[in-house]
Amino acid sequence: MPVSLICSTERLPVPDFRLPFLAVLLATSLASAPPEDARAMMLQARALQLRGGGSDPVAAAAIYRRVAVLVPESAEVQLRLSEALQESEDAPGAVAPARRAVALAPRNAEARAHLGLLLYQLFQKDEALAPEAARELRAATALLPQDPELWARLGEVSERMKDGEGALQAWLHLGRLRPSFQSAWERAAIHARALQNYEGRRESVLALNARNPEERHLRLLEELARDQIQAGYLAHAEESFLLLAQHLPQEPGLWENVALVRLQTSRFEEALDSLGKAEALKTTPRTTFNTARALMNLGRFKEAETRLAALLAGKIEETGIADGSQALYAETLLLEGKGGALLAYLKEHPGRPQVAGELQVFTCQALISRNDWKSALAALKDGIAHFPKVPFFQQAAALPPEYLEYRFFSRKESRAALEQLHLEGMAAIWSEFQRWDKCLVALEKARTLGPIKNVDILIMQSSAYEQMGRTDDSLRVLREAQKANPDNPMVQNNLGYLLLEQERNLEEAAALIEASAKATPDNGNVVDSLGWAQFKLGRIAEAEVTLRRAAELSPFSPEVRKHLGEVLVKQGKLAEAAEQWERALAFVFPDRPALEKRLGELRVRLARERAQKVEDAQAPAQDATPDDDEDQP
CATH of the domain at 409: 1.25.40.10
Apex CA 455: angle with CA 453 and CA 461, to 5°? Answer: 100
Q: Give how far Cα 43 sits from Cα of 55, 100, 122, Å.
A: 14, 21, 28
Q: How confident is the model at residue 609 (pLDDT cuts 50, 70, 90)?
A: confident
Using CA atoms, how far residue 195 sits from 130, 164, 190, 480, in Å, is 22, 7, 9, 50
Answer for the pair 180, 158: CB distance below 8 angstroms, yes or no.
no
Between CA 483 and CA 504 the distance in angstroms is 20
Instruction: Answer yes or no: are the C-beta atoms of 278 and 253 closer than 8 Å.
Output: yes
Global pTM reads 0.76
**Could you tell me what percent of the chain has a pLDDT over 70?**
91
pLDDT bin (cut points 50, 70, 90) of residue 614 is: low
The verdict on residue 596 lying in a domain is no
Q: What are the tens digits of pLDDT across the range 242-269? A: 999 999 999 999 999 999 999 988 899 9
Asked if residue 152 belongs to a domain, the reply is: no
* Contact (CB, 8 A) for 500 and 532: yes
Give the burial class of 616: count Cβ atoms within 10 A of its Cβ; 0-12 exposed, 13-18 middle, 19 or more buried.
exposed
Could you tell me if 560 and 524 are in contact, meaning their C-beta atoms sit under 8 angstroms apart?
Answer: yes
pLDDT grade for 610, boundaries at 50, 70 and 90: confident
User: First-to-last CA distance in the chain?
Assistant: 72
556-603 per-position pLDDT tens digit: 889 999 999 999 999 999 999 998 998 888 887 888 899 999 999 999
Please state the separation of Cα 481 from the chain's center in Å: 38
Closest to 101 (Cα-Cα) out of 138, 125, 142, 71: 71
Is 478 part of any domain?
A: yes
Helices 215-231, 252-264: inter-axial angle, 10-degree rounding: 20
- Indicate the pLDDT class of residue 26, thresholds 50, 70 and 90: very low
In contact, 393 and 383? CB cutoff 8 Å: yes
pLDDT band at 624 (very low <50, low <70, confident <90, very high): very low
**Averaged confidence pLDDT in the chain:** 89
Q: Is 158 helix (H, G, I), strand (E, B) or coil?
A: helix
* Cα distance between residue 202 and residue 582, in whole Å: 12
Q: Is residue 609 part of a domain?
A: no
HEC readout, 253-317: HHHHHHHHHHHHCCCHHHHHHHHHHHHHHCCCHHHHHHHHHHHHHCCCHHHHHHHHHHHHHCCCC
- What total of structural domains would you count in the chain? 2
Per residue in 325-366, pLDDT (tens digit) is 999 999 999 999 999 999 999 999 988 999 999 999 999 999
The pLDDT of residue 33 is above 70: no
Q: At what angle do helices 130-143 and 109-123 cross, to 10 degrees?
A: 150
Rounded CA separation 427/394 (Å): 17
Task: Encode burial over 395-425: b for 16+ CB neighbours within 10 A, e otherwise.
Answer: bbeebeeebbeeeebeeeebbebbbbbbbbb
Residue 505 has what pLDDT?
85
Q: What values do phi and psi take at 88, rounded to 5?
A: -80, 10
Quick check: 363 and 334 in contact, CB under 8 A? Answer: no
123 neighbors 157 (Cβ within 8 angstroms): yes
Amino acid at 491: V
Q: In Å, how far are 104, 276, 507 from 74, measured between CA atoms?
A: 7, 73, 66
191 assigned to some structural domain: no
| C-beta separation of 34 from 52 below 8 A | no
Q: For position 617, what pLDDT does the model report?
A: 59
**What is residue 208's predicted lDDT score, i.e. its pLDDT?**
97
CATH number of the domain that residue 71 is part of: 1.25.40
Question: Cα separation of 435 and 425, whole Å?
Answer: 14
Q: pLDDT at position 31, please?
A: 39
Which letter does DSSP use for residue 620 in this model?
G
251 in Cβ contact with 245 (< 8 Å):
yes
CA dist 323 and 354 (Å) reads 9
Q: Helices marked H in 449-488 — which ranges? A: 455-467, 471-484
Specify whether the backbone of 162 is left (phi greater than 0), alpha (psi in -120 to 50) or beta: left
Host H or E run for residue 340: helix 339-348
pLDDT in tens, 380-426: 999 999 999 999 999 999 988 888 887 766 678 888 999 999 999 99
Please indicate, yes or no, if residue 76 is contained in any of the structural domains. yes
pLDDT, tens digit (0-9, with 9 covering 90-100), for 445-485: 999 998 887 899 999 999 999 999 999 999 999 999 999 99
Q: For the chain, what percent of residues have pLDDT higher than 90?
A: 78
**What pLDDT was estimated at residue 451?**
84
pLDDT over 80 at 429, yes or no: yes
Task: Report how far residue 36's alpha carbon sits from residue 421's, in angstroms, rounded to the nearest whole number.
Answer: 106
| Cβ atoms of 563 and 547 closer than 8 Å | yes
Provide the pLDDT for residue 17. 33
Determine the structural domain holding residue 93 and report its residue range: 36-105
Angle formed by the axes of helices 373-386 and 356-369, to 10°?
160
- From the DSSP assignment, how many helices (H) and strands (E) are in the chain? 33, 0
pLDDT of residue 566: 95
Q: For residue 71, what pLDDT is reported?
A: 92
Question: What pLDDT is recorded for position 504?
Answer: 76
Residue 107 is predicted with a pLDDT of 92
- Does residue 397 form part of some domain? yes
Of the residues 485, 520, 545, which one is the last residue of a structural domain?
A: 485
pLDDT of 125 over the 70 cut: yes
Q: Which residues of 197-216 are buried (b: 16+ CB within 10 A; e: fewer)?
A: bbebbbbbbbbbbeeebeee
Helices 234-247, 198-208: crossing angle, 10 deg rounding: 20
Identify whether 546 is part of a domain: no
CA-to-CA distance for 112 and 133, rounded, in angstroms? 10
Of 47, 70, 105, the residue at which a domain comes to its end is 105
The DSSP code sequence of 173-230 is HHHHHSTT-HHHHHHHHHHHHHHT-HHHHHHHHHHHTSSS--HHHHHHHHHHHHHHHH
- Angle at which helix 558-570 crosses helix 592-618, to 10 degrees, equals 40
Name the DSSP class of 487.
T
**232 Cβ contact list (under 8 Å, min separation 6):** 556, 587
**Mean of pLDDT values over 12-38:** 41
Is the separation of the CB atoms in 60 and 46 below 8 Å?
Answer: yes
Q: Residue 63 pLDDT > 80, yes or no?
A: yes
Single out the residue of 374, 343, 372, 336 nearest to residue 360, CA to CA: 343
pLDDT in tens, 131-151: 999 999 999 999 999 999 999
Domain end point (choices 105, 123, 138): 105
